[in-house]
Amino acid sequence: MKALGTPADVSERLAEAALAQAFSALPALYGKEPHYALAVPGLASPSYHGVESTTFYVADAESVAPSLFLKVSEPCAAALLDPAAAFRAAQGIAALGLAPEPLHVAAEQGAILFRCLGPDWRPATLDRLQQPDSMATVIEAFRRIGAGEPFGRPWSVFEAIRTLRVLLGPGTDALPPDAWFLFDWAEAIEAALAAAGTDVRPAHADPHASNLLFDARGALQFVDFDMACDTDPHYQLGAFLNEACAFEAPMRAGIEMAEGRFRPDVFNRARAYAAADDLHWALRALVMDRLSPRRGLEFRKYAAWRFLRCRMLVGRPGFEETLRAL
């Protein structure tokens, strides 16, 4: 770990400014100058992890293990992120015992300081998420968050898709040749859901496996609150089941866990939202490919995978009938 005063790049300069602000506001955190080190290197493919922010472990100069965790947004992603809203959502989720305690937000630096969970907590694997006990734990956590007070940040995956298309611009060469086909389906999905009616509840809304941490006892903690918002809970459920399940049988089991019984209409909603979520993250990766200075990250490779999965979902026989059955 390194002491403050010799930042090597923009992220470290922002981290040091955020730490100075945090320890000025909360002097009881440390009696001595903090030290910090990179926590999670960015990886865009095969998982979209640590690419819109840089994370650091923070420890006292004489500490063996870090006790704090600092997340600093990438300046290039400022149009996609709202650290103040993420901090508020993290406070709400932490109050339920489902997230590490957020201690301070330095909005100007795009940084949030958390208590560090420690080495006993590990990101989920897809194999773990497919286990019934783990899937039930995640879905029950969704329910508890959704039953709480709104986060005050309404969000729609369809509005996000439109925003990302604007950020990419009309002349981009990064889109696949059949992008028009996927956009048409996104509009059809939005129209079908609007006609059927939707609910709005608070949600973590980013159930990638790397954002779901388990300990050895099977307890769950959420991390990364950039997407936390008030949205249709079936969007979050669809995104999670799309992440965790390769086949329909475990997806159906997930619907039963969420609803108390299998409901075909909720299954159809989840599959429709899953397609929209794939399109959203494919476009988001392409926007980051355009904006990010971190050229070693394989944003286009990740986007290609999400486009492919979206294409597979909307191209399934009977998908139009699925929308009619919402």
The answer to which of 29-38, 116-125, 181-190, 203-212 has the lowest mean pLDDT is 29-38
For the segment 154-162, the average pLDDT, to the nearest whole number, is 98
* DSSP assigned state of 285: H
Do 22 and 163 belong together in one domain?
Answer: no
CA distance 97 to 90: 11
Do 145 and 62 belong together in one domain?
Answer: no
> What pLDDT shows up at residue 31?
60
Looking at 115, 143, 166, which one is the last position of a domain? 115
Are 323 and 189 in contact, with CB atoms under 8 Å apart?
yes
pLDDT at 309 over 80: yes
Give buried/exposed letters for 209-242 (b at 16+ CB in 10 A, else e). bbbbbbeeeeebbbbbbbbbbbbbbbbbbbbbbb
Q: How far is CA 271 from the centre of its chain?
A: 18
Do 103 and 18 belong together in one domain?
Answer: yes
Looking at 70, 99, 115, which one is the last position of a domain? 115
Give buried/exposed letters for 263-274 (b at 16+ CB in 10 A, else e). eeebbbbbbbbb
For the segment 99-108, the average pLDDT, to the nearest whole number, is 95
pLDDT at 171 over 80: no
Number of domains composing the chain: 2
| pTM, rounded to two decimals | 0.94
Do 139 and 169 belong together in one domain?
Answer: yes
Sequence-distant (6+) residues with CB within 8 A of 31 are 60
Sequence-distant (6+) residues with CB within 8 A of 325 are 264, 265, 268
Do 132 and 254 belong together in one domain?
Answer: yes
Do 102 and 202 belong together in one domain?
Answer: no
Do 98 and 165 belong together in one domain?
Answer: no
CA distance 32 to 3: 11
Looking at 115, 150, 166, which one is the last position of a domain? 115
Rounded to 5°, angle at Cα 144 from 140 and 146: 110
Q: What is the CATH number of the domain that holds 29?
A: 3.30.200.20
Do 17 and 150 belong together in one domain?
Answer: no
Q: What is the CATH number of the domain that holds 305?
A: 3.90.1200.10
Q: How far apart are the first and last CA of the chain?
A: 53
Do 136 and 233 belong together in one domain?
Answer: yes
Domain span holding position 279: 122-324
